[in-house]
Amino acid sequence: MATEGPATRRVRVAEHPRLMKLKEMFNSKFGSIPKFYVRAPGRVNIIGEHIDYCGYSVLPMAVEQDMLIAVEPVETQTLQLANTNPLYPDFSTNANNIQIDKTKPLWHNYFLCGFKGIQEHFGLSNLTGMNCLVDGNIPPSSGLSSSSALVCCAGLVTVTVLGMNLSKVELAEICAKSERYIGTEGGGMDQSISFLAEEGTAKLIEFSPLRATDVKLPSGAVFVIANSCVEMNKAATSHFNIRVMECRLAAKLLAKYKGLQWDKILRLEEVQAKLGVSLEEMLGIVEDALHPSPYSPEEVCRCLGISLQELRTQVLSPNTQNVLIFKLYQRAKHVYSEAARVLQFKKICEEAPDNTVQLLGDLMNQSHVSCRDMYECSCPELDQLVDICRISKKLPISLKTAYFSRQKKCASLDI
C-alpha cells in the first residue's frame, strides 16, 4: 500500500552474488562491512511522455534494473560516497554542509539531492556520516531514470540511517522535490514509480494528491526495451527545462486568452481544471488561442503584458532565460493529446476487447508521432528503430522517449 513504508526483508548475502560482490568491494574500499543495503528500481514509461510536469497522469512500470547501495553509518560527520563503476570517482563531504552544484551534474550530486531532501524535510542539522558504495545496472542517460533511482535510493538510505519513518508516497514526493536541487524541473513520475511500483502491474500515476492505480496489461503483449545507443543527460543541458518552460508559457497564454488569472497558472492541467472542459475541448482552445509559428520572448511579453525583465526573472528558469524561440502551440497540442491517450490506454486495458493489443499499439504509435513532431523529443536513431521494428514485425510498435532526444530510448513491442 502507498500509505505504508518501503518493504524491508532479511537476506543471506552469500546467497546473492551481486550483494556478495558489493559486500566484498565495500570491505576493500572502507575496511568494514555494510550494515544494510537499499534498492530502488528504474522505470519505463509506457505512455504519457512529458506530461507529468504539466499536471497530467502517466502510465509507467518499474524495470528490473536498479540502483543498489551498501551502507554503513559512522560516528563522524563525513559522508563518503563510492561507486563500483570506475568511471565515477569517489566523493566525500561534511554531512551537515551539503552543496550541490547545478552547473555540474556529477553522479554524486544525485545522491546529495536525496540526502538533502530528507535532511530538510525533518529540519535536521546534526547528521551522522556514512560510508556508501553505489552499484547501478541501469544504463546512464538512457531514459530509464537512473538518476532518479539514485535520488530515491539516497533518500531511503538517509531515512534508514536516521531511524525515521515515511510512507512510500511521502518519500516519492520528497525525492521528486529534492531532485530539483540539481536544476531539473521534473514532474515526479520517476520517483513515484520507483517507490510505488509493484510486481506484475503497470501503474497509473496521478498527481495532486499523488496516488497510484494498478493497470493490468494484456497477457498477450510483451514490452521490449531497445537501445538507440544515443545518450542525453537531462541535467547537463537546458533542453529538458526548455520544454518545461514552453509548457508553462503555453499555460499562461491560454489562461490569459480565456480570462483567467494567468500569473497564478503554472501547468497546462490547471487551465483545463479551471475552465472545466474536456481534453478534446482544450485542443480546440489551443487552435484558437495559439499560432503554430514560434513565439519570440518579445511576443510572449506582449501577449501577457509584461516586460522582458519580468519574463526572465519571474517566469523563466535560470537556464532558459536566453532562449530565443518558444514553440507553444506544438507543446500544448502534444500535452493535451498525450493526456487523452493515457486515459484511453487505461480504459482499453480495463475493458480488454479482443483487439486490445492492436488498440494499445495504435495509441503508442500516435504517442511516438506526437513526441517526434509536436514535442521534438525524438532523434533520427530512435525514428530508425521504430521503422525497422514496424517493418520487421508488421505490428504496431512505439519506441518511447523517456526524457529528451539523443538519449537511449525505451521501446514497446506488441507481439
Give me the active site residues, please.
Answer: 190
Distances (CA, A) of 138 to 28, 127, 134, 330: 24, 30, 12, 32
72: β partners:
131
Rounded to 10°, the helix 268-275/239-257 angle is 20
Identify whether 209 is preceded by a cis peptide bond (ω within 30 of 0). yes
Measured CA to CA, the distance from residue 413 to residue 415 in angstroms comes to: 6
Measured CA to CA, the distance from residue 256 to residue 265 in angstroms comes to: 10
Q: Measured over all CA atoms, what is the biggest interatomic distance in the chain, rounded to whole angstroms? A: 66
Residues 283/330, Cβ–Cβ less than 8 Å? no
**If we measure between CA atoms, which residue out of 382, 300, 388 comes closest to residue 49?**
382
Measured CA to CA, the distance from residue 296 to residue 224 in angstroms comes to: 40
Return the half-sphere exposure (C-beta side, CA atoms, 13 A cut-off) of residue 132.
33
Backbone angles phi, psi at 236, to 5 degrees: -85, -15
Residues 331/243, Cβ–Cβ less than 8 Å? yes
Measured CA to CA, the distance from residue 328 to residue 179 in angstroms comes to: 26
Grid coordinates in use for 130?
Answer: 556514512
Residues 110/54, Cβ–Cβ less than 8 Å? no
Q: Which helix (H) or strand (E) holds 24?
A: helix 17-30
Measured CA to CA, the distance from residue 49 to residue 387 in angstroms comes to: 20
